[in-house]
Structure 1
Amino acid sequence: MAMQPNRRQFLALAALLAARPARAAGRLAVIDWALLETTLALGVVPAAAAELKQYARIVSEPIMPQSVIDLGLRGNPNLELLSNLTPDLIVISNFYDYRRASFERIAEVLSLPVYLTGEPCLPILRHSTLALGQRIGRPEQAERLVTALDAAIADLRLARRPDGRPAMAINLGDRRHVRLFGGDTLFGGVLSAAGYRNAVADTRYSMTAPVGLEALAREAEAELFVIGPLPPGGGDALAGNALWQALPQVAAGRVHLLPALDHFGGVATATRFAKLVVGGAAAR
């Protein structure tokens, strides 16, 4: 089995791609969701992408045009359909490198990193955004996306003035369990970059397995940013949940309910998250 490239190798590749002359986009097929949202944010509509119905439920911005053809599961896309579409370029992330040989039999493949275990993801996403923009002929748009993220984080730092205060980005699994986003995740990375102390341990670029709600009480002074979707019943169910209402953060009004966001999103999702945190939400 081939060894997985490390962060330094991935970033070197992204920097090399970003330094090359820009090329026209051509017909694109995009497998990874972070790179799919980035492609759309760059103003390019791919010919095809994967798991579009689920994508539309989670990622509301940028809007997915109806012309994009659904290739099926990200981990097992329909290769016959993909081949029939005759793409000029297939865009994947490091998550799908294990299928690269199959894709290369159909078209040129561009593989870019999005998340690496134990590594802050924002520098990786910035590099990959610039590299993708350069490859598909949208370098100026890519620069604007990265600049917009940096501006949103700066606005968050100014508006909230976290100054090292603890914070947690979480997702509620059900009435009794919660998932926590660590420092190598998208939401944890934005909070840390804005000046919060992420009160969650490392989580392998995703989030923890569900833990009991009572775990949140261990960081009683933390602000809680709840990433949607909420469990059935939404905010009303939380209002009637005795375990939730007993949390010190709830009693102090330091809980902010946010809409659904892609846990493995790209620069556009990171920017939206930062803006949502600045805007705040109803405390519960």
Structure 2
Amino acid sequence: MKFLTAALAFLTFCSTAYAGERQPIATFDWAVTETLSMLDIGPLGVTQLETYNEWADNGLIAYDAIELGFGPMPNLELMSHLNPALIIGGLTPLNEKLSHIAPTENISLFPITGDPWQAVHDFTLALAARLGHQKDAKRLILESEQQLARLNHKLSADQAPLLIIQFRDDRHVWIYGENSLFQGILDQLGLTNAWNKPTNHVGVSTVSIDELPAIEGRLVVLKSPHYTASIGDRLNRGGLWQALLRVRGGKTVYLPVNYWTLGGLPSAMRFAETLVETLEDT
């Protein structure tokens, strides 16, 4: 694919960004952390870093950052020992304890209100402004929008509305709606989201797979690590899922997941590139 040349250039920058400036920042938010790495800022410590890298498998977060433990219950003793200069993340219940370690700031993308792409834009600039990297952020946003315009031109004008789902288990899915990270990308690519019902604070609805045949739109199944490791085989062996696919008719798209579904600009761009490549090939 010709567009992959530009895509790889953008992703190569993102993947190598953490090799630059290391700052004494601890973060509890993966959208924050991957955005910092994109801005050439390597955070000192990250909660559940191993989980993120296992899920996203994209090198957008520095592997040599220190693991700070489980997000809701971080290792406060370790954090005190590391003595960060700043803690970033939406952990309001913990802020009182964390404030004894370092200044805390709640810079978060979620919940998204209003236009999702604008929310990603504003979040990226707000984080960059806090750390004096506004110029880099503006450049990267511009490069992202140029790449999205190129990807848009790769798609045919008759694309069906997309129903983007992620399996929780073999009977329930999350469907991504209008206040999700993915909605901003669909808008930029000129694609329609088939799901317009209420969602939770991160833009997803939980639905039984029995309900899927009645929902219009082309089915896009996110092949997350959870799907690949434990759900996909069960679905392929089970008659219910196969029957539901036959009832729906048309082609189902299986989309590789090499991004974090609740991430920031780096994950949004990786989703866009993977989606367009997959739609072109099906």
Q: Give the aligned partner of residue 187 of structure 1.
A: 182
Match of 1:97 among 92, 95, 117: 92
Equivalent-residue separation in structure 2 for 1:239 and 1:38 (angstroms): 36
Contact 2:253 2:278 in 1 (8 A): no
- Kindly indicate whether residue 78 of structure 2 is the aligned counterpart of residue 61 of structure 1: no
Equivalent-residue separation in structure 2 for 1:158 and 1:138 (angstroms): 31
Contact 2:167 2:173 in 1 (8 A): yes
Higher helix proportion: 2
Equivalent-residue separation in structure 1 for 2:247 and 2:272 (angstroms): 20
Contact 1:164 1:195 in 2 (8 A): no
Give 1:156-195 correspondences, 5 Å limit. 156-161=151-156, 165-195=160-190
SS of equivalent residue, structure 1 residue 197: coil
SS of equivalent residue, structure 1 residue 264: coil
Equivalent-residue separation in structure 2 for 1:278 and 1:96 (angstroms): 35
- Kindly indicate whether residue 199 of structure 2 is the aligned counterpart of residue 203 of structure 1: yes
Distance 1:254 1:52, change over 3 A: same
Q: Give the aligned partner of residue 260 of structure 2.
A: 262
Q: Give the aligned partner of residue 44 of structure 2.
A: 47
Distance 1:163 1:146, change over 3 A: farther
Contact 2:165 2:219 in 1 (8 A): no
SS of equivalent residue, structure 1 residue 280: helix
Equivalent-residue separation in structure 2 for 1:264 and 1:174 (angstroms): 19
TM-score between the two structures when normalised by the length of structure 2: 0.79
Equivalent-residue separation in structure 2 for 1:259 and 1:153 (angstroms): 18
Match of 2:269 among 268, 271, 274: 271
> For structure 2, which runs of at least 5 residues remain unmatched after alignment?
1-20
AA matched with 1:181: Y
Match of 1:214 among 210, 216, 219: 210
CA apart distance, 1:63: 4.1
> For structure 1, which runs of at least 5 residues remain unmatched after alignment?
1-23
AA matched with 1:107: A
AA matched with 1:226: L
Distance 1:117 1:125, change over 3 A: closer
AA matched with 1:89: L
Match of 1:128 among 123, 130, 134: 123
- Kindly indicate whether residue 101 of structure 2 is the aligned counterpart of residue 78 of structure 1: no
SS of equivalent residue, structure 1 residue 198: coil
Number of equivalenced pairs: 258
SS of equivalent residue, structure 2 residue 73: coil
AA matched with 1:168: L
CA apart distance, 1:117: 5.7
Give 1:215-234 correspondences, 5 Å limit. 215-229=211-225, 230-232=227-229
- Kindly indicate whether residue 147 of structure 2 is the aligned counterpart of residue 147 of structure 1: no
CA apart distance, 1:48: 0.8
AA matched with 2:277: G
Distance 1:260 1:272, change over 3 A: closer
TM-score between the two structures when normalised by the length of structure 1: 0.78
Match of 1:252 among 234, 250, 253: 250
- RMSD (CA atoms): 2.9
CA apart distance, 1:190: 1.7
Contact 2:194 2:217 in 1 (8 A): no
Equivalent-residue separation in structure 2 for 1:191 and 1:122 (angstroms): 9
For 1:21-80, what per-residue CA distance to the aligned partner results, in whole angstroms no more than 9, with x for missing partners?
xxx974111111110111111111111111112111112233443431111121221222
Equivalent-residue separation in structure 1 for 2:143 and 2:252 (angstroms): 27
Equivalent-residue separation in structure 2 for 1:244 and 1:120 (angstroms): 34
Equivalent-residue separation in structure 2 for 1:248 and 1:160 (angstroms): 26
